[in-house]
Amino acid sequence: MADNEKIKVSIDGITVEVTPGTTILNAARQIGGEIVPPAMCYYSKLEGSGGKCRTCLVKVSKGSEKDPRPMPKLVASCRTTVMDGMEVQNITSNEVVEARKGVVEMLLINHPLDCPICDQAGECHLQDLGFEHGAVNTRYEFDRRTFEKIDIGDKIQLHMTRCILCYRCVYTADQLTNKRVHGILGRGDASEISTYIEKAIDNDFSGNVIDVCPVGALTDKTFRFKNRVWFTKPVDAHRDCPTCSGKVTLWYKGEEVLRVTARKDEYGEVEEFICNTCRFDKKKASDWVIEGPRNVAHTSVISSNHYQTLKPLPVVKENLQLKEANKHQFERSVRL
């Protein structure tokens, strides 16, 4: 097969051409929409990520043109590369939907449902998964794990009780800094992020562990409990920074900048990592060149009250037609 030759894969009945070596998840992302499997641990910017959370499980109903046999078990789409002629089922498979429901139940075994007081609320992918696939009751009968909060320096707080062990913060520290001092200790239900984590703040890019965390385990202490994200106004801005790209999202409340984050794509992944100076020290509008409002998906709670274009709703049009018909009926009855 030539280097530039594409292979075809079908996902939920939609065919797409991709380069050899592409994973099922990234092939689905090229199609977009609802058929893209969720991912809590995979991060395209972090080498080696994926294969931990199992939320991206899919069913391969046809292996390839050469070997059409289906794969005997559900596979992690973030770790499975496509084959020419492969057919994959995601939301069209009841088996996948039920398996995802079980995965969410497992992730919520120890993760507390404290969304009303969690700063990640409104930006939490586990919150979305819990809403879509969560069960009313859990089969878990034992006590949940609890941990004391740990301050990672003066800007970041680790709430290990909320951690789902996705490893994103470990990969971020490992690949953006030359002195990672934390990781996963223990095995099974004894696993936790630990080992001198209080010292992990002494590098210029440590704040990025906040952005990559999919839940509220790692939060910005300068923003904690200040406001809800859907009450803020996100705008894109940049500055001439000698350390990073300087391209960020500012979160306004009135005229005050409550926090600064890296810009994220439609899958919640950081486009370019930013330094701690941009994140923590530049909280004035005068520090930045404002580019304009951040485009927020209409399905996100953050889009509340952030209207850019207004379109008439079909139901409004129907109501106007009904109102006009009633008016004619009334006038006709008066004449009679």
Q: What is the pLDDT along the chain (336 residues), one digit of tens a residue?
A: 555 689 999 999 999 999 999 999 999 999 998 899 999 999 999 998 998 899 999 999 999 999 999 999 999 999 999 999 999 999 999 999 999 999 998 888 888 888 888 888 888 988 888 888 877 677 777 788 888 888 877 788 888 889 888 889 888 888 887 766 677 776 776 677 765 555 545 678 888 989 999 888 888 988 988 888 888 889 999 999 998 999 999 998 888 899 999 999 888 899 999 999 999 999 888 999 999 888 887 778 777 766 555 444 444 444 445 555 554 554 554 444
Which residues touch 33 (CB under 8 Å, ≥6 apart)? none
CATH number of 111-138+145-225: 3.30.70.20
pLDDT value of position 306: 62
CA dist., res. 323 & res. 175, Å (int): 63
DSSP helix/strand/coil, 225: coil
Same topology, domains 7-106 and 111-138+145-225? Answer is: no
Which residues touch 149 (CB under 8 Å, ≥6 apart)? 157, 158, 159, 160
Cβ neighbours, 10 Å, residue 201:
17
pLDDT value of position 324: 56
DSSP helix/strand/coil, 172: helix
pLDDT value of position 334: 43
Which residues touch 75 (CB under 8 Å, ≥6 apart)? 24, 57, 58, 59, 60
CA angle, 258 then 259 then 261, to 5°? 155
- What residue ranges do the domains of the chain occupy? 7-106, 111-138+145-225, 226-336
- CATH architecture under which domain 7-106 falls: Roll (3.10)
CA dist., res. 235 & res. 252, Å (int): 8
- Give me the amino acid identity at 214: P
CA dist., res. 213 & res. 216, Å (int): 7
Q: Which residues, listed in sequence order, are joined to residue 250 by a DSSP beta bridge?
A: 235, 260
Which pTM value belongs to this model?
Answer: 0.68
Q: Tokens representing 173?
A: 């520290």
- Give me the amino acid identity at 207: G
E-strand stretches of 68-221 = 75-76, 86-89, 150-152, 156-158, 183-185, 192-194, 218-220
Q: Is 166 left (phi over 0), alpha (psi -120 to 50) or beta?
A: alpha
pLDDT value of position 321: 52
Residue with structure tokens 């965390």?
A: 213
In angstroms, what CA-CA distances link 331 with 142, 195, 317, 335, 336? 70, 80, 21, 6, 9
CA dist., res. 131 & res. 332, Å (int): 50
CA dist., res. 104 & res. 110, Å (int): 11
Cβ neighbours, 10 Å, residue 136:
4
CA dist., res. 134 & res. 101, Å (int): 6
Q: Which residues, listed in sequence order, are joined to residue 247 by a DSSP beta bridge?
A: 238
pLDDT value of position 167: 87
pLDDT value of position 3: 57
Q: How large is the angle between the packed helices 125-133 and 94-107, nearest 10 degrees?
A: 130
pLDDT value of position 224: 87
